[in-house]
């Protein structure tokens, strides 16, 4: 109780500090900034963000429509199906590698409990590397003593990466010869299942015959600093809103590895297994290279290519245990952004080539926005800095006030998602906008550079010395050229 009171007091103090800071900036500005008749009127600076704010507004409206109108309608239809929506068999496949024993125990305990509670014939498939994980799972299995309908299957793999672990797990499921009504839940080794998550996800495949995979809502427990914890929680709140928006078109853009559910006929399809195991890109400048990370994007792209829809179930949730890769927030967030944005951009161009007919108009627009957002997110800041250097520092203060007000509004809007919001969110939102854009620009010209944040696995390519030199210096040259053109254009306009 005392901890909650302290947390509430700290958050209240944080909000007061943030609002006081906005008022101080406002007091430092001339009155003309707030006069609608003046050319300095504050809202004029919003003209440079019309594209970004319109995209955000569309996501918000679509997300709210799905969450509070469309999804409840779908849920009522699922309930009417009753037992007719039950799967013939459920496979719960967990992939674990280099995760601490406490987290592993929490994950497998929740999986075994769900296997028992769901009431369906279930097989728990453990794709593991270490012998210690096998012993831990067997001890938990003996403790819970599941009924006869719940089986256990181990798949021992080499520690060569998550993609190999997934592919071997999918092949193990194939050997069980599942029928067309069976489903497979793919669960990461740091994802703790909430109660009833299986029963809330599996009926959707009966309601939507063309849905090949769906994903779930996520909350998190972060083993790190306060700011790192808030950063992750903000990310999951934004994720929830975007997932709801894309689910309205049945075009959820990622089958997150933390917890996604597929038709068994999908994960046993050799084409799907090959896409997940050995996905690669043929780049005009960097050559051919395999995808080390981003199995969630590969599975989504494979579903789209094979003609399936994707879906999101907002009331089925998991809790992830997040272990930041660095103690420093700046270093850890940059590492994670590098991995996430690299995965997005590697899939982006070839996904767009699937065409609007396959993806739909809104999904095509979102994929296009992923490409241009790295520049539009920096536009306002760059213009404000140039104007303050050329004319008056008041322009920078106007921009900071605009950012402070709009990020406060965005934070308040996130509260309707059901995720917690905190006083650090407005600042983190802006940090993500600027630093995220810079990371995107960097990785956009270096798509072949990949690495895991949890394990020291990096992509190695046996390239000739000239090819390595060419890739390195062409990436640097193109980054410098693109940034120069961006800045020169803004200087000309301002």
- Sign of the CA dihedral with 415 first, then 419, 425, and 431 last: negative
How far is C-alpha 22 from the chain's CA centre? 31
β 150-156/122-128 pair status: parallel
Q: Is the per-residue pLDDT at 42 higher than 60?
A: no
Q: What is the 3-state secondary structure (H, E, C) of 298-339?
A: HHHHHHHHCCCEEEEEEEEEEEEEECCCCCCHHHHHHHHHHH
Residue 54 has φ and ψ, to the nearest 5°, of: -70, -40
> Which range among 41-55, 103-117, 118-132 shows the weakest confidence by mean pLDDT?
41-55
- pLDDT tens sequence across 59-69: 999 999 999 99
Name the average pLDDT for the chain: 87
Report how far apart the first and last C-alpha atoms of the chain are (Å, whole number): 55
pTM score of the predicted model: 0.89
Spans of all domains in the chain: 12-53+370-493, 61-328
Contact 255, 310 (CB under 8 A): yes
Residue 44: is its pLDDT beyond 60? no
Tell me, what's the pLDDT at 72? Answer: 96
Q: How far is CA 176 from the centre of its chain?
A: 31
Locate 307 and state its tokens. 């003609």
Select the CATH number that applies to the domain covering 61-328 from these four: 3.90.550.10, 2.40.50.100, 1.10.443.10, 3.30.870.10.
3.90.550.10
Residues 85, 89, 92, CA angle at the centre, nearest 5°? 110
Mean pLDDT for the stretch of residues 6-14: 70
Using the predicted structure, report yes or no on whether residue 303 has a pLDDT greater than 60: yes
The whole-number pLDDT of residue 45 equals 47
Judged against a pLDDT cut of 50, whether residue 383 lies above it is answered with yes
Least confident of 62-71, 134-143, 421-430, 449-458: 449-458
Predicted confidence band at 200 (pLDDT cuts at 50, 70, 90)?
very high
Structure letter (DSSP) for residue 457: -
Question: Percentage of residues in the chain with pLDDT exceeding 90?
Answer: 50
H or E element at residue 251: none
Question: Cα–Cα distance between 147 and 115 in angstroms, integer?
Answer: 10
- pLDDT higher than 90, residue 321: no
Distance, CA of 226 to CA of 228 (rounded, Å): 5
- Confidence tier at 468 by pLDDT (50, 70, 90): confident
Tokens standing for 186? 């793919």
Instruction: Tell me if residue 455 falls in helix, strand or coil.
Output: coil
Ramachandran category for residue 418: left, alpha or beta (phi over 0 → left; psi -120 to 50 → alpha): left
Asked if residues 237 and 307 have their Cβ atoms less than 8 Å apart, the reply is: no
CA atoms within 13 A on the CB side of 105: 10
Quote the CA–CA distance of 347 and 293 in Å, as a whole number. Answer: 11
């Amino acid at each position: 109780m005392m901890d909650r009171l302290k947390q509430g007091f700290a958050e209240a103090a944080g909000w007061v500090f943030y609002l006081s800071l906005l008022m101080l900036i406002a007091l430092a500005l001339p009155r003309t900034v707030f006069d609608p008749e003046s050319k300095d009127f504050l809202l004029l600076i919003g003209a440079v963000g019309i594209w970004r704010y319109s995209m955000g507004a569309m996501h918000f409206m679509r997300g709210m429509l799905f969450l509070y109108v469309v999804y409840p309608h779908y849920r009522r239809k699922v309930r009417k199906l009753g037992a007719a929506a039950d799967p013939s068999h459920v496979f719960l496949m967990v992939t674990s590698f280099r995760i601490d024993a406490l987290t592993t125990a929490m994950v497998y305990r929740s999986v075994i409990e769900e296997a028992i509670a769901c009431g369906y014939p279930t097989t728990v498939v453990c794709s593991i590397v270490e012998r210690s994980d096998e012993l831990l799972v067997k001890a938990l299995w003996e403790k819970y003593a599941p009924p006869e309908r719940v089986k256990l299957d181990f798949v021992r793999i080499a520690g060569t990466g998550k993609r190999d672990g997934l592919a071997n797990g999918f092949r193990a499921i194939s050997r069980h010869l599942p029928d067309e009504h069976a489903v497979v839940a793919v669960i990461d080794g740091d994802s703790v299942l909430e109660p009833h998550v299986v029963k809330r996800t599996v009926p959707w495949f009966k309601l939507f015959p063309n849905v090949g995979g769906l994903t779930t809502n996520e909350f998190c427990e972060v083993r790190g600093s306060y700011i790192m914890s808030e950063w992750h929680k903000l990310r999951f709140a934004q994720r929830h809103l975007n997932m709801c928006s894309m689910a309205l078109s049945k075009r959820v853009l990622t089958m997150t590895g933390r917890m996604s559910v597929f038709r068994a006929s999908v994960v046993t399809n050799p084409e799907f297994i090959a896409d997940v195991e050995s996905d690669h890109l043929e780049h005009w400048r960097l050559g051919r290279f395999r995808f080390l990370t981003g199995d969630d994007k590969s599975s989504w792209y494979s579903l789209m290519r094979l003609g399936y829809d994707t879906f999101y179930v907002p009331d089925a949730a998991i809790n992830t245990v997040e272990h930041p890769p660095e103690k420093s927030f700046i270093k850890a967030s940059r590492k994670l952004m590098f991995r996430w944005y690299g995965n997005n951009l590697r899939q982006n161009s070839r996904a767009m080539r699937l065409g609007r007919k396959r993806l739909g108009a809104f999904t095509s627009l979102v994929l296009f926005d992923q490409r241009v957002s790295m520049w539009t997110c920096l536009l306002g800041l760059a213009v404000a800095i140039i104007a303050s250097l050329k004319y008056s520092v008041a322009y920078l203060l106007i921009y900071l006030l605009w950012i402070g007000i709009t990020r406060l509004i965005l934070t308040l809007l996130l509260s309707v998602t059901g995720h917690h919001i905190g006083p650090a969110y407005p600042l983190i939102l802006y940090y993500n906008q600027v630093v995220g854009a810079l990371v995107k620009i960097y990785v956009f010209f270096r798509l072949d550079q990949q690495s895991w944040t949890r394990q020291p696995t990096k992509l190695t390519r046996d390239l000739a010395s000239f090819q390595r030199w060419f890739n390195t210096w062409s990436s640097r040259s193109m980054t410098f050229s693109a940034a120069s053109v961006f800045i020169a254009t803004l200087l000309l306009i301002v």
